[in-house]
Chain A
């Protein structure tokens, strides 16, 4: 008998949802993981992109069996690169924004376009219009092209793994199975138990597990931002408040 990182979860689900078929269990688990990753950004992947002259679009390179949720961050030489929608004090091309406070009432520019056209790295800004390539605006200069641009993607599971019978569920890092075990268990049980006219249907169980899953996703979303470190809130009320 072969061992798989998903064994513990599948075994627990099979016991807690009696009568559930393998196909149904797999589908509910997949949907749970998809929702979990899309909400929490818990699966991150770094990609180094080598900049090239006169090239503005770069393909996304992510692991097999994964799909892009969103682009979290782009850095170049260790410095965050602003996205097209974050750019301030600049007049933008078709991918950018023009803020009202940057113009005089008569429409004249209240900034110096020549100084705002490029940042020191030579990269103007970036944008993602479709989740399979990243666009940069401006022409990266020769010095900028000597360093790779680093993109941090949030990923989810790709539906291709359900459609083919590959049987592989090892596309995400293996530690996710242990770290998110209870969360995926609750999410899958919540989905299964809320189904009408099924032997494993259980209204009270569905409410309980769905609530636990939502709470777990809120926690994981915080962890995704701050790391797995105890007591590092990003913000709190000042002492004596309230």
Chain B
């Protein structure tokens, strides 16, 4: 289990859940990085305290995935797994024969639930 310290580790864990670990990928790196960026925006909306003390929202440039993968993601360890659920759920929102809407919705709901309630 990766420690989810870097963008690369988030992508690796997301691909494991997406069953997309072999190239060529069904979900390109830049799509998943975009999902991670949007997940940060969502986290900021729901839980501003995760971005103390300056409330800056981290953003990773998806144009250069190789450099992006080495970049650190600042997130409290308790909420890193939630961010993975968001990335996977958002990726599966795409109209794709390998995914289902209910699974995508469940993952996105799980992200929100984990951000807001303890029993989730």
Residues of A within 8 A of B (CB): 18-19, 21-24, 27, 162-163, 197-200
Contact = CB atoms under 8 A, between A and B. Distances in A.
A199 B120 CA distance: 9
A23 B51 CA distance: 8
15 contacts: A21-B50, A21-B52, A21-B76, A22-B76, A23-B49, A23-B50, A23-B53, A24-B49, A24-B52, A27-B53, A197-B116, A198-B49, A198-B116, A199-B118, A199-B120
Interface of B: 46-47, 49-50, 52-53, 76, 78-79, 115-118, 120
A22 to B, nearest CB: 7
A19 B53 contact: no
Contacts of B79: 21
A22 B47 CA distance: 13
A19 B52 contact: no
B46 A197 contact: yes
Contacts of A199: 115-118, 120
Contacts of A23: 49-50, 52-53
Contacts of B78: 19, 21
Most chain A beta carbons < 10 A, residue from B46, B49, B78, B116: B49
A218 to B, nearest CB: 30
A21 B118 contact: no
